[in-house]
Amino acid sequence: MSEKRLGGRYELTTRVGGGGMAVVYKGHDLLLDRTVAVKVLRPQFGQDEEFIRRFRREAQAAARLSHPNVVSIYDVGQEEDTHYIVMEYVDGETLKDLIKREAPLDVKKAVHIAIQIGEALEHAHQHHIIHRDIKPHNILIGTDGRVKVTDFGIARAVTSATITQTGSVLGTVHYFSPEQARGGVTGEKSDLYSLGIVLYEMVTGHLPFSGESPISVALKHLQEHFKDPRELNPSIPQSVENIILKALCKQPEHRYESAHAMVEDLKTCLSPERLWEEKRIPERTQDDDPTLVLPAVGARPAHHSLDLETQPDPEDERGGKREKLLSRSWVKALIWILAIVVVIGLTFFIIQKIQSLFVVPEIEVPLVINMPLDKAELKLAEAGLKSEVQGEVFDDRIPAGNVVKQDPPPKEKIKAETPVMLTVSKGKETTFMPDLTLKEEREAQTLLVDFKEVKITREYSDTIPAGQVMSQNPLPQTPVVPKETVVELTVSKGKEAFDMPNLIGKTKDQAAAILLKNGLILKGTQQEESYFDKGLVVRQWPVQPGEKVSAGQEITIVLSSGLKADAVKVEEPIMAVVEPDKPTTISILVSDARYQDYPYIEEKISKSKEYSVDLVLSPTHDATITVYKDGVLQVTRTVTYQEVTGTNTGG
């Protein structure tokens, strides 16, 4: 692969790195004559169409990022089964290499690096791009000290399509956020968690979690607390440790609100008044549901026993016996009544209990429209309801990933086992940006009639004919919403025209050099007798001096084969008179058998000076010498052929 050329313009030279998903080569862009880095997808991923589609889409989205701390993406392409990304080449090393060599890093240096990473994330998050794979391997440090974050845009493709590839997980699980390890939805705060781990590793030389397998490391992200950084490196200021503790909170809501907030905290953490601030106490989390203690069904309250004995009346034994019999009858009746009440109560209780086992309670459906799907599912689960996703639809109002419709609707009461059907928004309906490169401007305008606006810039080009599209923004295959998208086209004006240089009176070599410098081509030479010395240019065609010409034009020159027989060469003296010690510009124009108003001399002098002007005359061409002083005519002298030869040409 090291000698292969991709896209007809990217020549791969040296392999500079690689991972489980791709191999990176140093290359050369032949069209723009610059060094680039080319990331080539490994063949085993080239057969997964869904992976390739997301790989290209996310990479193209990342190409919109323009920030000094983000590696620029120049191009995304495919050649046969080879998929590749062309990006800025950074001459330096990865942060991982620096950590291996110098860890623990000086705190000032580590904070400075973390700030630049954070600013890159802030820029990406503003463009709704989440990295998802922040780790020292993806942080480049140039020889000038500039920090560059790379691999923006492809982490989504990796985590969705290759999470089961062991090689991929091993390289990133140490920097996973808990929500990534859990397989949940990741957001901006996942990147901040990963940045916190990178800062932890820079200042301690250790990772917060390690294990024998990716699963064991992922579980530690979810369940265990790491050693505080100052336990490993007591020289770390408390303010820096506090930033790490906040970034590494297991609950996203307890981390920084944004990358901007974390960057602002990093920028002040080394100020003297903050170095030894109070240690941050992590917020209490609720990862584990509290154990519910249900009260046991109690026994019936104890009742006082009835005194069933009646004391006999000592005075009337007979009457006492009768009263005793009556009392016993009353007690028996009371016992029967109580027994019946107890049986009825128990029967009612048992019936209610049985009904509770078969009758499902009704629950009021909460409102989850316009909520992210994961939060909507959680809210329904907390209400005791199940949920199912029944499909996705485009929606102009609700962001992609949020619930656009629920069935049953909010506030309707349903039984607990009835699932709430959710429809998820795919966001505004998008299409893929067409490739307009090299199309005629009118054709490109026709293809863009549904777009919000088309802005056209015109530039000269030595390679693309006038009227054709040179470049476009957004790039081809970028997902766009036409009604909201402003398209920028650069249309070729063709080759830039300029004034044709004057080659008359030059030698062949001088003329060739002038043509080469201006991008013109010497097509050939001819010879003829003239009033010029042998070897000098007499004529040029098809473009005359001063006429407009474009690079690439072919020019033929005619060289003098020697003076004509009637040519007469003379040297004529002429005086330029100026005021002493006053710098004056003298211009001398010559017209003779060779030239018409030829600028013979132009110079600045401070005292009068005599010039010797060489002339060529012929029977049909006299000579004129004109002298200008600071642009004002001073003298004109005519030298005639008759005067020089002593002949009468008037016949």
Whether the bond into 474 is cis, omega within 30 of 0: yes
Bridge partners of 84, per DSSP, are: 40, 77
Cα gap 585→393, rounded to integer Å: 80
Cα gap 281→68, rounded to integer Å: 35
Burial class (CB in 10 A: 0-12, 13-18, 19+), 575: exposed
**Beta carbons of 59 and 86 less than 8 angstroms apart:** no
Whether the bond into 136 is cis, omega within 30 of 0: no
DSSP-derived pairing of the beta strands 73-79 and 22-29:
unpaired
Cα gap 199→271, rounded to integer Å: 18
Residues 338, 342, 345, CA angle at the centre, nearest 5°? 140
**Among residues 506, 493, 486, 503, which one has the least CA distance to residue 545?**
503
Q: Is 183 helix (H, G, I), strand (E, B) or coil?
A: coil
Burial class (CB in 10 A: 0-12, 13-18, 19+), 80: exposed
Cα gap 492→467, rounded to integer Å: 5
What count of Cα atoms within 13 Å lies in the side-chain half-sphere of residue 609?
A: 19
Number of H helices, E strands in the chain: 16, 30
Cα gap 65→516, rounded to integer Å: 40
Spatial CB neighbours of 648, under 8 Å, sequence gap ≥ 6: 642
| Residue 133 designated active-site | yes
Q: Is 273 helix (H, G, I), strand (E, B) or coil?
A: coil
Catalytic residue among 29, 75, 133, 592: 133
Any idea which residues carry the catalytic annotation? 133
